[in-house]
């Protein structure tokens, strides 16, 4: 199992979400950290990956032991912008 670390930006975004969305994102991140399975794709044009959980995206980097969540948000918003 990998350790999940949230940046300040990602933590604030997660706290601002509705409870149902927050629960789904936390469950999706936990499942990916444990099994390595999920709707994950490498980002184009920049470093990192995205994990799709319904309408929400988690932008993250990872190494052998940690997952660093950089941003969390809806696909329709500015999730992919720096």
Read off the pLDDT of residues 3-34 as tens digits, 9 standing for 90 and up. 999 999 999 999 999 999 999 999 999 999 99
pLDDT for residue 76 is more than 90: no
The closest of 21, 25, 35 to 58, measured between CA atoms, is: 25
Q: What angle do CA 35, 81, 49 make, to 5 degrees?
A: 20
Alpha-carbon gap, residue 1 to 4, rounded angstroms? 9
To the nearest 10°, report the CA torsion of 30, 32, 38, 42.
130
Read off the pLDDT of residues 45-70 as tens digits, 9 standing for 90 and up. 889 999 999 999 999 999 999 999 99
**Please, what are the domains in the chain?**
3-74 (3.30.2310.20)
Contact 49, 38 (CB under 8 A): no
């Amino acid at each position: 199992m990998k350790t999940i670390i949230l940046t300040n930006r990602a933590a604030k975004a997660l706290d601002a979400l509705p409870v149902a969305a927050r629960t789904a994102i936390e469950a999706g991140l936990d499942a990916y950290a444990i099994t390595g399975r999920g709707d994950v794709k490498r980002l184009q044009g920049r470093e990192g990956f995205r994990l799709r959980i319904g309408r929400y995206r988690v932008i993250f980097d990872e190494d052998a032991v940690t997952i660093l969540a950089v941003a969390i948000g809806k696909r329709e918003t500015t999730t992919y912008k720096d």
